[in-house]
Structure 1
């Protein structure tokens, strides 16, 4: 009888573990799927907006960006007027002040919609890369970033090493990057920009692995509670973290590897 109970308990535990594993796979698929849609929205918005900002007709244009191409009135407004500062810092303000409130007040579907709106706003902020760098180099750096991101995220998911202790150090590094980047907007130092880009690649590479492991561990810690609404929001927050890691890694690599027009 005792042997039967042992076998039965082991069977229940094994079935429960299999259920947790299946739920984790579904959770991670939702994280990567949501992130991928956000990435598509960002780059589609950036490409479309950059197209609206450029014209080959010099009539009424006051700024030539390259031979035979000029900024439209729309392009001058978003890239050359004080509005450019609003566009530059809007995604940062959205993260700090808008997203947290949305998570607390909205349903999981509502938070997902807010994330996609943020992705479009990020596309507006990044649209100038299509005017500064060649299209071929943007695609090349995107592919390099995708390969590096996939490898780092896979390592973060599969490693048995606990890297949760990296969190506070990496957050301090991100804050330092933000402050240094804002200061260098006014200094315009190539040496400082090079140092910022190098540190940015290292920090967001580490954050990719850290965030992936954190998403996995968060799910495992809360899967027993069965709160599908909370887990839905957690998947979107995880997608946001990985999305930001990818975008920043891409932008810092573009500074190194991108060919400028």
Structure 2
């Protein structure tokens, strides 16, 4: 086999491997979104759960903080844990995400929620396509974006107390930029 054929074979094998990995990632992401949606739906339709979360803010904030702890622990230890452990933590995160989203679903109209999810899905898809076809190494900006997401969380807490509508727009735009980078 000459060098050209060997390189062509290696590229095909790599493309096939990457394609398989990407398919598994998207299946897991899809399943996690289903878990999130079902948890949010259950919290809004089962009598008392949504009201309990709305009237016991310490529980809601506890769930939100646990959600962040899971994100940071998964991000920090992903290379050290087994695939099944990482998947379990990811699905637990998805469940908690649904619980925190439940109050949002109760506060906003289905149309506004649909628009938000459609925009997010579109951005995720576009950035995934860009990441798949680009030759650039995009991992270099990860630590910067991790710090930026901490800043986003702090800004959201500040906005909670002052309810500054201008800040809401800034946080939304910053959130999109940060999550585009993380995607």
Answer whether contact 1:47 1:127 (CA < 8 A) is retained. yes
Distance verdict in 2 for CA 1:168–1:108, change over 3 Å: closer
Q: Does 1:205 align with 2:180?
A: yes
CA RMSD of aligned residues (A): 2.4
Distance verdict in 2 for CA 1:16–1:99, change over 3 Å: closer
Q: 1:80: Cα distance to partner?
A: 1.4
Q: Distance in 2 between matches of 1:104 and 1:161?
A: 26
Distance verdict in 2 for CA 1:17–1:28, change over 3 Å: same
Q: After alignment, is 117-126 or 178-187 more displaced?
A: 178-187
**Relative contact order (C-alpha < 8 Å, sep 6+): which is higher?**
1
Distance verdict in 2 for CA 1:207–1:109, change over 3 Å: closer
Taking the TM superposition and a 5 Å limit, the aligned residue runs for 1:240-255 are none
Distance verdict in 2 for CA 1:103–1:41, change over 3 Å: farther
For normalisation by structure 1, the TM-score amounts to 0.62
For normalisation by structure 2, the TM-score amounts to 0.85
Taking the TM superposition and a 5 Å limit, the aligned residue runs for 1:188-203 are 188-203=163-178
Q: 1:101: Cα distance to partner?
A: 5.7
Rg larger for: 1
Higher helix share: 2
2:61 to 85, 104, 118: 85
Aligned to 1:14, what secondary structure does the other structure show? helix
Q: Structure 2, unaligned stretches of length 5 or more?
A: none
Q: After alignment, is 77-86 or 156-165 more displaced?
A: 156-165
Task: Give the match for residue 144 of structure 1.
Answer: 119
Answer whether contact 2:127 2:180 (CA < 8 A) is retained. yes
Q: Does 1:28 align with 2:22?
A: yes
Answer whether contact 1:102 1:114 (CA < 8 A) is retained. no
